A and B are shown apart, each in its own frame.
Chain A
Amino acid sequence: MAEEEFFPQKNGWYVVERLGRGETSARLAEMGLVPGVRVWLGVASFPAGVVYVHTPDGALVVRRSEIQEVRFIPLNG
């Protein structure tokens, strides 16, 4: 499945299901984006190419290409 197909296209609450295997994922995990964490993703009406991630420890801005390797699932289904 192409990454674009499962990357969230709408703002909303999601749960981190799993991370990729690269160093970027390792850094994201050290900043609190670990499997099971509930986050709010801002993908629309935010700077192009950047994703806004609201975590329990506050907000992050992550380049869209970095966060592609994280698998999110919508909180309500």
Chain B
Amino acid sequence: MVQDGRPRILLTGTPNSGKTTLFNRLTGLNHQTANFPGVTTAVAEGRVRLMSKDGVPWDVACLDLPGIYSLYPDTPDEEEAVRCLRHALALPGPQCVVFVADPTTPQRTLHLLQHLLRYVHIHLVVFNFWDVAEKEGIRFDEKAFRALFGDALRIAFHNPRNHVHLRQIRKALAEALEDGTAERSHPLLHGFSKPSPDVRISQSTRDFNLFQEPAQRIFRRTLPGESAPVSRLDRILLHPVWGTLLFITSLFLIFQAIFSWSTYPMAAIEWAFRHLGLWLRGTMPPGALSDLVSDGLVQGLSGIFVFVPQIAFLLLFIAGMEESGYMARAVALMDRLMRRFGLSGRSVVPLLGGAACAVPSILATRAIPHPTRRLITLLVIPLMSCSARLPVYTMLIGLLFPQQTYWGLDVRGLALMGMYVAGFGLAVGAAFLLSRVLPGAGRDYLIMSLPHLQRPKIGVVLAKTWNGLKGFIIGAGKIILLISIILWGLMRYGPGTSDPSGPAVLNLRPVEAVDQSWAAFLGRAIEPAIEPMGGDWRIGIAIISSFAAREVFSGTLATLFPPPPGVGLRAHLGDLRYPDGRRVFSAPACIALLIFYALALQCMSTVATVYHETRSLRWPLLQFLTLSLCAWVAAVAAYQLSKGLIDF
């Protein structure tokens, strides 16, 4: 966050008023937005290029603060918003406080504006989502607004699709920063403290009563409002029986679609990488570099890219649910069930978000007011099946089940859904156990405004999917590139075999067979731990290499077991056998690996985020060690129990 006296813009407003949408438009960044309150749980910073009065380009810092209902925080994300607002206001130098207003919730908006004006000098009010307001027949009466708030307050409108509005906002921001009022002192910085609930209630009651009538004049509705207090759709989505059935059916369809729709693009990507490897081998002069590129890098990258279609579909569905406003309905539906397991209704969104990626979901737990429930939620989120597990699951499920359909249902899709349900079950089960152990002090509540149900905007959904996918490709791609190079080196060179009884020596000549390599040497050292779960040293290497990021597992398998020309990786792995005729990826071994990956915490970014959020080494270490140990014990038990029951 800005630490010096650089010019800065601070965006504040109620939750779900579109601050991050405006922030993204101003800075050109792509921070996460969604159609439910409490998405922004951390302060984001970017740069806005403005034009000074003299026509000189001017780069200004822009801070996007989490939404608030007042300056009296009740949740960790609100505390962060108020803390950062006070910190930024206390710094010297020009600053511009922007109040981002949602005209479709006029009374709540005017109440917060009035409340903030008592403590903060606001320079600009931006009426956001003006396109939606106009569609709802809302007309703004500036005279009525000025009568209440005076002439000094600048106002602007923002329609995310309108560039003219954005130019006007930039102009207003530059004027506010240059006109000298931007350094005015703020009462918030002097002796401000959170009052008693009684005082808060009386302040709010007074302000809401004050704005009840003016709000209707300021935001005049020219179209009749909703005739019924609950829309027909909400009557179904929030119905305890139909809503729950619809929720389960949606999840079921998503996992069916992930498998069946991805088949052709996955086959195309496999084909492309196979031919790229062949072409590179034919084009490059024979030698170490050619081996590295075609056997190491191309194989490793194909093991990641082949799963891009499935991850894209998963992210697309999650983005669609967020944008439509459905996620908030899911919170209401699941609240009671969640509380039985020591969680909160507000845990639903981070948990469901964990199906895409644990890292932003752990940050999303800041919206949970109860500290213990928040801690429990962030500790169990890694048990949800994230998109990085998808390549591992689809690889192993593909090896475990033939491609078959029963009554039109894809068996592999059902198995994948089973893994996601199991992940959810493990998360709530672990939460239940933790709630029995951890002290339960703290206040918990569920009060949430329901966002409007809307048809998801295709552009926004696609952009969010692309951002998630880009993060996956770049994040996993960097690691797989590094690990592919290291693995290739470990598999090409060995410790030397001239004197087997002597110490290992550095040997820079390529080995004749992979079982003489450094990889085999290191893999055999860990083989005693891998053998009881049905693997050999090569699977041990694949597991170890995926401790930094689990999605690396399939890339490593592609490097360790390079398929012959013209054969796909999964087909090749399915045919691999040990010298005694057993399949390397037998059914019991695949089951053990699935269970291992369902439980193990193989993601360094998650460990780092838990450390950041808990400000303690104790929780991430405990989480990592417990989950790793549970994963190994459960995988060994699954293999030992199933090997006598299932044919190899």
- Encoded as 1 (CB less than 8 Å from any A CB) or 0, chain B from 321 to 365 comes to 000000010011111100100000100000000000000000000
Instruction: Check: B141 CB closer than 8 A to any chain A CB.
Output: no
Chain A 15-50 interface mask (CB, 8 Å, partner B; 1/0): 000010111111111111011110010100111111
Residues in chain B near residue A19, CB distance under 8 A: 201
Q: Is the interface on chain A under 10, 10 to 19, 20 to 34, or 35 or more residues? A: 35 or more
Q: Which residues in B have their C-beta under 8 angstroms from that of A23?
A: 74, 197, 443
B108 in contact (CB, < 8 A):
yes
Contact in complex: A26, B200 (CB < 8 Å): yes
Complex Cα distance A48/B448, Å? 16
- Complex Cα distance, B459 from A48, in Å, reads 36
Partner of A61 from the list B72, B229, B448 (CB cut-off 8 Å) is: B448
CB pair B238–A26 under 8 Å, yes or no, is no
In the complex where A25-B201, A34-B209, A40-B229 touch, is A58 in contact with B335 (Cβ < 8 A)?
A: no
Given A27-B74, A34-B208, A54-B230, answer yes or no on A63-B345 (Cβ-Cβ < 8 Å).
Answer: yes
Q: Does A52 contact B (CB under 8 A)?
A: yes
A61 touches B201 (CB 8 A): no
What number of B residues sit within 8 Å (CB to CB) of A?
Answer: 44
B235 neighbours in A (Cβ, 8 Å): 45
Chain B 410-442 residues near chain A, CB threshold 8 A: none
Residues of B contacting A: mostly: helix
Within 8 A of A (CB), among B201-246: 201, 204-205, 208-209, 212, 229-230, 234-235, 238-240, 243
> B238 to chain A: closest CB distance in Å?
5
Query: Is there contact, CB below 8 Å, between A46 and B104?
Result: no
B105 contacts the other chain (Cβ, under 8 Å)?
Answer: yes
Chain B residue contacts of A40, Cβ below 8 A: 229-230
- Are B234 and A24 touching (Cβ within 8 A)? no
B335 surroundings in chain A (CB, below 8 A):
47, 49-50, 63
**Selected contact of B445 from candidates A21, A48, A56, A63, CB within 8 Å:** A63
| A61-B111 in contact (CB<8A) | no
Contact residues in B for A48 (Cβ distance below 8 Å): 240, 336
**Interface check B107, CB cutoff 8 A:** yes
Asked if A30 meets B204 with Cβ closer than 8 Å, knowing A52-B238, A54-B229, A61-B450, the reply is yes
B229 touching A66, Cβ below 8 Å = no
Q: Known: A46-B240, A50-B336, A61-B328. Contact between A26 and B72, CB under 8 A?
A: yes
Please list the 7 inter-chain residue pairs (A to B) with the smallest Cβ-Cβ separation, ordered nearest first: A40-B229, A29-B204, A54-B229, A26-B200, A49-B336, A26-B197, A63-B446
Interface residues of A (CB under 8 A from B): 13, 19, 21-32, 34-37, 40, 42, 45-50, 52, 54, 56-63, 66
What would 18 A/B residue contacts be, using CB atoms closer than 8 Å? Answer: A21-B197, A26-B201, A27-B69, A27-B445, A29-B204, A29-B208, A30-B69, A34-B204, A34-B205, A42-B229, A42-B238, A46-B332, A47-B335, A49-B335, A57-B107, A58-B450, A59-B450, A60-B450
